């Protein structure tokens, strides 16, 4: 089974709120000092899913695609160190500030150029813009079925059986191949690459494709960003005092009663 995994490098989503800054004029996030960008946390899970499917299937190739600046190589290298076979970096100054909709178009073109994919795996969303539209977008552009928010994926005859996380439980679906599946955190911990694998990954090839290589022009944004800012958070907390934990508990219960909350 030939699998393509799409990965993205993003600012660390666990960046403490105090270090998170926005340049409102430029409508951009200012990279936090001393906090390195990371692989979008759902993407190693998508890579893990690809590795398990390939192992179970006993053959095929896993290609990792990332669209981003040159540093996005690190996200590709991480997937290669986990065990993926080849990498493609889509990098072009023309793509420097494209949105999710344009990204889907570029990824779809790259997926076609890689060719012969049975399955395309992605994280359920990128934890920077938190949109989660790229899997559906690539599906629409390539005319493929899209199964989202997967917690389990298994090869099943010519197709897949996927367990999805719903708002109020789980759903099992069967999908034909080729298909796109987006993976959620409920999939479980991805493997962590060992030093030897990281060194081996350095030898794996990462091709770099430009907009011209893909033969696309992503055009203007269909949904322009008008403003980007940080919400104001005010703190008015009252710390409940007391000499012992029991006294604090009693004081809190009384405060809650006074506020008609109990």
Partner 1 sequence: MAGILVVAEKNEGEITPASFELLGAARQLADQGGGSVSALIAGSAADASTLIAHGADAAFTSAAPEDSLAEVLLPAVEAAVSQSGADIVLISMSSLGRDLGPALAFRAKSGVAMDCTALAIEGGKLRATRSCYGGNARAEHTWAGGLQIATVKAKTYDALPADGGRSGAVSAIDAIGEARIKVVGVEKATAEGVKLEDAEVVVSGGRGLGDPSGFQSLETLAGTFKQAAVGASRAACDLGWYPPSQQVGLTGKVVSPNLYIAVAISGASQHMAGMGGAKNIVAINRDADCNMVKVSRFAIIEDYKKVLPALIEEIKKLG
Ligand X SMILES: Cc1cc2nc3c(=O)[nH]c(=O)nc-3n(C[C@H](O)[C@H](O)[C@H](O)COP(=O)(O)OP(=O)(O)OC[C@H]3O[C@@H](n4cnc5c(N)ncnc54)[C@H](O)[C@@H]3O)c2cc1C
For ligand X, the closer of residues 16 and 157 by Cβ is 16
Task: Report which of 243, 244, 239 is spatially closest to residue 255, judged by C-alpha positions.
Answer: 239
Whether residue 135 contacts residue 146, with contact meaning beta carbons closer than 8 Å, is answered with yes
Write down the least CB distance from residue 143 to partner 1, Å. 10
Report the residue from 118, 140, 197, 206 that binds partner 1 according to the rule CB under 8 A.
Answer: 140
Report the residue from 34, 195, 233, 243 that binds partner 1 according to the rule CB under 8 A.
Answer: 233
Write down the least CB distance from residue 42 to ligand X, Å. 7
Q: What residues from 5 to 44 belong to the interface with ligand X (CB under 6 A)?
A: 13-14, 41
For ligand X, the closer of residues 107 and 127 by Cβ is 127
Question: Is 131 one of the binding residues for partner 1 (CB under 8 A)?
Answer: yes
For partner 1, the closer of residues 61 and 155 by Cβ is 155
Taking the C-alpha atoms of residue 16 and residue 196, their distance in angstroms, rounded to an integer, is 32
For partner 1, the closer of residues 136 and 200 by Cβ is 136
What phi and psi, each to the nearest 5 degrees, are found at residue 177? -105, 150
Report the residue from 25, 96, 195, 239 that binds partner 1 according to the rule CB under 8 A.
Answer: 239
Whether residue 8 contacts residue 212, with contact meaning beta carbons closer than 8 Å, is answered with no
Question: Is 185 one of the binding residues for partner 1 (CB under 8 A)?
Answer: yes
Write down the least CB distance from residue 106 to ligand X, Å. 22
Task: Report which of 137, 63, 70, 65 is spatially closest to residue 99, judged by C-alpha positions.
Answer: 137
Report the residue from 93, 115, 222, 243 that binds partner 1 according to the rule CB under 8 A.
Answer: 222
Taking the C-alpha atoms of residue 41 and residue 18, their distance in angstroms, rounded to an integer, is 21
Beta-carbon contacts of 171 under 8 Å, excluding residues fewer than 6 positions away, are: 163, 164
Write down the least CB distance from residue 203 to partner 1, Å. 34
Region from 80-88, 146-154, 194-202, 207-215 binding partner 1, contact rule CB under 8 A: 146-154
Q: What would the two tokens of residue 117 be? A: 């994919």
Question: Is 158 one of the binding residues for ligand X (CB under 6 A)?
Answer: no
Q: What residues from 120 to 139 belong to the interface with ligand X (CB under 6 A)?
A: 127
Q: What residues from 201 to 220 belong to the interface with partner 1 (CB under 8 A)?
A: 220
192-201: long-range pairs with CB below 8 Å, 24+: 193/78, 193/81, 193/82, 197/81, 197/82, 197/83, 198/77, 198/81, 200/81, 201/77, 201/80, 201/81
Residue 17 touches which of ligand X, partner 1, none (Cβ within 5-8 Å per kind): partner 1
Whether residue 73 contacts residue 39, with contact meaning beta carbons closer than 8 Å, is answered with no
Which residues lie near ligand X (CB under 6 A)?
13-14, 41, 127
């Amino acid at each position: 089974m030939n699998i393509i995994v799409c990965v993205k490098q993003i600012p660390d989503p666990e960046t403490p709120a105090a270090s998170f800054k926005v340049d409102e004029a430029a409508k951009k996030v200012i990279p936090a000092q001393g906090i390195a960008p990371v692989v979008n946390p759902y993407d190693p899970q998508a890579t893990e899913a690809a590795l398990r499917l390939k192992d179970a299937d006993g053959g095929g190739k896993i290609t990792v695609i990332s669209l981003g600046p040159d540093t996005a190589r690190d996200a590709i290298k991480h997937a290669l160190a986990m065990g993926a076979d080849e990498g493609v970096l889509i990098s072009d100054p023309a793509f420097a500030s494209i949105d999710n909709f344009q990204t889907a178009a570029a990824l779809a073109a790259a997926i076609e150029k890689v060719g012969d994919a049975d399955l395309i795996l992605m994280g359920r969303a990128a934890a920077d813009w938190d949109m989660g539209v790229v899997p559906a977008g690539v599906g629409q552009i390539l005319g493929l079925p899209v199964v989202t928010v997967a917690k389990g994926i298994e090869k099943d005859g010519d197709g897949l059986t996927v367990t999805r996380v719903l708002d109020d439980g789980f759903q099992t679906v069967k999908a034909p191949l080729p298909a796109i599946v987006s993976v959620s955190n409920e999939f479980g911990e991805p493997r962590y690459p060992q030093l030897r694998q990281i060194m081996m990954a350095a030898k794996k090839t990462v091709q770099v494709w430009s907009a011209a290589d893909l033969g696309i022009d992503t055009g203007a944004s269909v949904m322009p960003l008008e403003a980007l800012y940080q919400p104001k958070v005010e703190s008015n907390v009252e710390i409940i005092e007391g000499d012992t934990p029991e006294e604090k508990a009693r004081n809190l219960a009384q405060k809650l009663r006074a506020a008609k909350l109990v």
